[in-house]
Structure 1
Amino acid sequence: MENALVADAGMMRLLAHPLRMRIVGSLRVDGPATSAILARRLETDTGQTSHHLRLLARYGLVEEAPEQGRGAHGRERWWKAVHDSTLWSDLGVGGAEAATVVQRTARAVWDQAIDTYHADVARQRWSPAWQRAAASSDYVIRTTPERLERLNAEIERLIREADDPDAEKVLVVLHTYPLR
């Protein structure tokens, strides 16, 4: 798979919906699913997931997965993500506002994942080893745009190197912004 390139404000607004963002993320991370499976994964209802899946399909972010079958009664529609990740280009003035909304939605989705982790820790669902390994931190450095690009590329290389498909899933969220 490749990256989805968001090149217009309409597609950006489509992704600004938290449930749509979570549906695409779930299909990428957890694999193909029906609207009923997604509803259980995301704690919503099948009607909502069906509606949002159709919208996402219209923009080419998800597609039907007929290779998964149609179920015992031939009525199940399986869906899968089309891309590994989503990138967007400079969309101009109207696009900047849409990008801000998408970024805000993404942060809310990430915060929800972090809150779920901490709730699971409180319920003792993660081992002490995972609790020691999990981390949140921030650093303020002085650098140039070129060095920041190299730093981001190196961090991405290390993340890809650490990836083990047979191990536990780990959310890595990285933010690098200039600060005044």
Structure 2
Amino acid sequence: MRQERRTNATERRAVDSPEVLKALAHPLRLRILRHLGTEGPATSTTLATALGENTGTLSYHLRMLERSGLIEDIPERSAGRERWWRGVRGLDIRRPPLGELTEAERAVSAELDRMRAEEDVELARQFTSGQAESEGWMRGSRGLIHLTKDELSAFHDDYLGLLTRYAREPEDAPDDARPVLLRWFGLPAD
């Protein structure tokens, strides 16, 4: 299984296995990851309350995310049967090459793309409707540049390096910090 490798310069752990794609391709698991990313560590009970789910359902999905290496428990915060969870730090989740995926894995990948596209469209709507009132909390940029495929890859790696430079967990952020959703993608214009 090709699950982990170190990326250059960013010291992030690259994850590119079909198993991780499968774990991500579930709406509740994406909501769990979003909650842990924005609010910080949580137990299955606090997650159940925040997400409007029962603890049994949450426990199952937390185990699936843990098996995939996307979350981890925090032993020093856990006591008895109560386990605290956080997202694994420093992950760079990348899609395996399509040629290496089975037909079933391609279907899972397509479902994940569909869910993420729906979320991105909703974020674009929020950006458009809320930018004027955001008091500077919404920023955006669009551009057109001419790149080779290698330059596009380098641009992407530089973007990931920039994310790493500014990244911190909710519990490590200053009091005036807010969770900010960022999206970047590049595609040929012709």
Structure 1 length as normaliser, TM-score?
A: 0.71
Matches within 5 A, 1:3-82: 3=13, 5-8=15-18, 10-70=19-79, 74-82=80-88
Unaligned 5+ residue runs, structure 2?
1-10
Name 1:98's counterpart in structure 2.
Answer: 108
Q: CA deviation at 1:34?
A: 0.6
2:72 alignment partner, SS class: strand
Query: Once the two structures are superposed, what CA deviation does each residue of 1:45-77 show, in whole Å capped at 9, x if it has no partner?
Result: 43332221122223332232221132xxx4422
For residues 50 and 127 of structure 2, what CA distance do their matches in structure 1 show?
15
1:80 alignment partner, SS class: strand
2:42 alignment partner, SS class: coil
Cα RMSD, aligned residues only: 3.3
The verdict on how the C-alpha distance between 1:162 and 1:39 changes in structure 2, with shifts beyond 3 A counting, is same
Aligned length: 170
Pair 1:175 & 2:185 matched: yes
Would the aligned equivalents of 1:34 and 1:76 in 2 still touch at CA under 8 Å?
Answer: yes
Matches within 5 A, 1:135-146: 135-146=139-150
Structure 2 length as normaliser, TM-score?
A: 0.68
For residues 72 and 62 of structure 2, what CA distance do their matches in structure 1 show?
8
1:156 alignment partner, SS class: helix
Name 1:155's counterpart in structure 2.
Answer: 159
The verdict on how the C-alpha distance between 1:141 and 1:96 changes in structure 2, with shifts beyond 3 A counting, is farther
Percent identity, aligned pairs only, is 29
Bigger helix fraction: 1
